[in-house]
A and B are shown apart, each in its own frame.
Chain A
Amino acid sequence: MERLEESTTDGHWLREYARDHVVHGLVILAFFLYPPVYGLLVDSPLGFEAEAFLPGLTFMIVVLYLGLFAMSFDFVSGYTGYLSFGHAAFYGTGAYFVVLAANGQVPGIPDGTPFMITMLLGAFLAGVLALAIGAVSFRLTGVYFAMITLGFAQVLYELIRNWGFVSANPREGATISGDGLEIGVPYVESLSFAVGRLTGDSFENVLGTGIDISTTMTSYYALAVVVLVCYFAMQRIIHSPFGTVMIAIRENEERAEAIGYNVFWYKMGAFAMSAFFAAIAGALFAAYSRSVSPENTYFFLVTADALIVTIVGGIGTLAGPLFGTVFHEWLEDVLSTENEGVATYLRETLSEGVLATDIAGFTLADVINSAVDGRAPLYLGIVFVLFVLFVPNGLLGSVRDRLGGTVAKRAPTLLERYRR
């Protein structure tokens, strides 16, 4: 593809840096403004529609940790080309480690250790686990690599599902018994915020602006900061020489080896780092939901979800999985009744007569109940198949192809062209 002229030789390094990150800034701003804007819309006359068609705040929190997990999955699968089909093992390790540590069940970790520290310890543990799994798995390629990682993850899943130490009923999972977990700078009281579903910190009249921040919003912003740091860390790695070798391995492993890189250790490094970030995502999930179960951490379908959103968002683009997750969670939200979704909207706006309409022996109400309410996997599956067939590069990948470079790099040039 024809490349546009680079014109970034003017000005201060700071201005250039800002130029390169204009798009990042816009995305961060959008995420930052979403909760208040959503709040305003819900209070407006269009509130009913907003609740029905926009993702609620709790779902945006899910976007944050699942998006980070999907990014970590893409980090190894999209950039080195090795499909890590058991990635849920690392997510689960992070989540379970945090819960067990919070309950004082991990030997050597005293009660009351700050969450940020247990989170990092859990992430290191996942990294070590990844090295152990990678040591035997990286002899294999393609489908066989996907299968051996899946095998390891399923072994861990069965272990955790039947291990009485985790909780009295390990199949149900474990719950944090004490207070909520705090995200922030350990040992600095004023910079730590308790996060959690239904619990957590709330702030009224922040800095005298008259804006109130609810507990959910606090959780959202606190989690978002961690995800943001992780995103930039991963972005930094991918744009470093190490990341270039990862991409070289994806494109042609034999050639990368011939040039003189020890591809095995590069793959191991990428796998361990990816596991590290996956475990952080798991830890955030555990901190927010305060309970974990084998099904939503270690199970094969957790990886499958990450895979789906990665394809929809664009495999081999770090931010793509996040946008894919936004789509996924938006779909889940509008199709569920938990948060006043489309099903509720239809039931309340359609008249009794219409709802009782007969469709092949069932009333319309029946059809709405069974074909709309909570049926996100069906529609997600259809969208996913259409993407695989017609948009193989995903949302962000396609935009990138159209622009002829990464969005962050091309956007300033494009903006400048339109400004003239």
Chain B
Amino acid sequence: MIGEYLALALATPDAPLVADALQRFFRPSTFARLVVEGLGKAAVYFILAVGLTLVFGLMGVLNFAHGAFAMLGAYLGGVLMVVALAGGAGPFTTVAFFFVVAAVVFALLTAVGSALEVSLIRPIYDRTPMYQILLTFGVGLILEEATRIVATLQGIQPEPQWQAPMGTLPDALAARYDILGANIRGLYLFEIGLGVLAAVGVWLFLTRTLYGLYIRAGSEDPEMVEALGIDVRKAFTIVFGLGTGLAAVGGVLLMWDPVWGPSVLLNIDVLLYAFVVVIIGGLGSFKGTLVAAVIVGVADSFTTWLFTTGIVDFSGLPEITIFLLLVIALIVRPQGLYGVEEVGGH
């Protein structure tokens, strides 16, 4: 069955096309373009996943509501952008607004996440990790359906993607630029910039602040952190809030992305992608998340190219590659690239 299937998937029209495509593939400009696109995607994946790994690192909680927070971020960011730029604005004002909106959404969702941790997750830390998975999954479900209700009442849905925020993308970012012979979309450069910003920010938080120290200690040895008399409850609240806020910022970024856009379906999509990145990198590892995001992002851009050029006529190629990466990573290295073995005791 699989063999027949593979034969089908790899059925190529004629050999010259493949040779031609391969030639184009090894042209430096194509290669560079794909790498830059991959890094752009990697930046998005990194921002979407890093909050998840922070929360897991300290608390051992695999947050299944992570995707829902990203979805909320996309909608909130979209609404704010559309309202703020109702009259239209120049590219610089728009980008400046984008940062304001991202900051507002980050602050808002950090507060929401902290409140959630205190009210719902705190009472069940003493149970097995499964119950925290279940609880956060339920919260994600509620958020998704509540968003759908609001979106229906406001007339935003039922179109699967709410196109309005994408219209606020400045032309300067939508355009393509020739950089060293490679034809690169401005948005990818913007995303890479934001990704670097987020990575540096989180790295500074981890290495230069007290709570960063708690997280690093917590992902090494949670019992010892508690034994040393650190107020873990407060650290949990803050870290869960920050993880939520980071997911939401990722969502704000998706609002402009031509592949995603604000939609209730983001909940599950983001969740699955964030899981893949975090698991490949090793749950709870910042470095692992960064490396895995780059691997997944580049694999995504290369396989998307393979499909669009017709070398492979299997439309699910990018997605399947990403989940195969997850499976292979777990088989070869169960704890992930930089993961600590048996993090969180499970």
Residues of chain A whose beta carbon lies under 8 Å from any beta carbon of chain B: 83, 136, 139-144, 146-148, 150-152, 154-155, 158-159, 161-165, 300-301, 304, 307-308, 311, 362, 366-367, 370-371, 375, 377-378, 380-382, 384-385, 388-389, 392
Which 8 pairs from chain A and chain B are nearest by CB?
A142-B346, A378-B145, A381-B141, A162-B316, A381-B142, A385-B138, A158-B320, A151-B326
Kindly provide the distance from the CB of B307 to the nearest chain A CB, expressed in whole angstroms.
10
Which A residue's beta carbon lies closest to that of B153? A370
Contact B138 A161 (CB under 8 A): no
Please name all residues of chain A whose beta carbon is closer than 8 Å to the beta carbon of B275 when the two chains form the complex. Answer: 147, 150
Please name all residues of chain B whose beta carbon is closer than 8 Å to the beta carbon of A300 when the two chains form the complex. Answer: 268, 272
Q: What sequence of 0s and 1s flags, for each residue 91-128 of chain B, a beta carbon within 8 Å of any chain A beta carbon?
A: 00000000000000000000000000000100110010
Secondary structure type dominating chain A contacts: helix
Given contacts A377-B145, A378-B142, contact A151 B327 (CB under 8 A): yes
Please name all residues of chain A whose beta carbon is closer than 8 Å to the beta carbon of B319 when the two chains form the complex. Answer: 154, 158
**15 contacts across the A-B interface (CB closer than 8 A):** A140-B334, A142-B129, A147-B279, A154-B323, A154-B326, A155-B320, A155-B323, A307-B137, A366-B153, A380-B141, A381-B142, A384-B134, A385-B138, A385-B139, A385-B142
Contact B141 A384 (CB under 8 A): yes
8 Å CB contact of B127 from A148, A154, A304, A392? A392
Contact A389 B135 (CB under 8 A): yes
Please name all residues of chain B whose beta carbon is closer than 8 Å to the beta carbon of A375 when the two chains form the complex. Answer: 145, 148-149
Contact A311 B134 (CB under 8 A): yes
Please name all residues of chain A whose beta carbon is closer than 8 Å to the beta carbon of B4 when the two chains form the complex. Answer: 165
Given contacts A143-B283, A389-B124, contact A384 B327 (CB under 8 A): no
Please name all residues of chain A whose beta carbon is closer than 8 Å to the beta carbon of B324 when the two chains form the complex. Answer: 151, 155
Contact A163 B330 (CB under 8 A): no
Which A residue's beta carbon lies closest to that of B56? A143
Contact A159 B268 (CB under 8 A): no
Which B residue's beta carbon lies closest to that of A380? B141
Given contacts A144-B330, A147-B330, A304-B137, contact A158 B323 (CB under 8 A): yes
Contact B5 A163 (CB under 8 A): yes
Starting from the known contacts A141-B346, A384-B138, A388-B134, 4 additional A-B residue pairs (CB-CB under 8 Å) come to: A143-B129, A148-B331, A150-B275, A380-B141
Kindly provide the distance from the CB of B65 to the nearest chain A CB, expressed in whole angstroms.
10
Contact B149 A152 (CB under 8 A): no
Tell me, yes or no, whether B172 is within 8 Å of chain A by CB. Answer: no
Contact A382 B8 (CB under 8 A): no
8 Å CB contact of B8 from A148, A158, A165? A165
8 Å CB contact of A381 from B138, B152, B330? B138
Contact B334 A144 (CB under 8 A): yes
Tell me, yes or no, whether B15 is within 8 Å of chain A by CB. Answer: no
Tell me, yes or no, whether B205 is within 8 Å of chain A by CB. Answer: no
Contact A162 B144 (CB under 8 A): no
User: How many angstroms between the C-alpha atoms of A382 and B344 in the bound complex?
Assistant: 27
Tell me, yes or no, whether B130 is within 8 Å of chain A by CB. Answer: yes
Kindly provide the distance from the CB of A123 to the nearest chain B CB, expressed in whole angstroms.
16
Please name all residues of chain B whose beta carbon is closer than 8 Å to the beta carbon of A136 when the two chains form the complex. Answer: 331
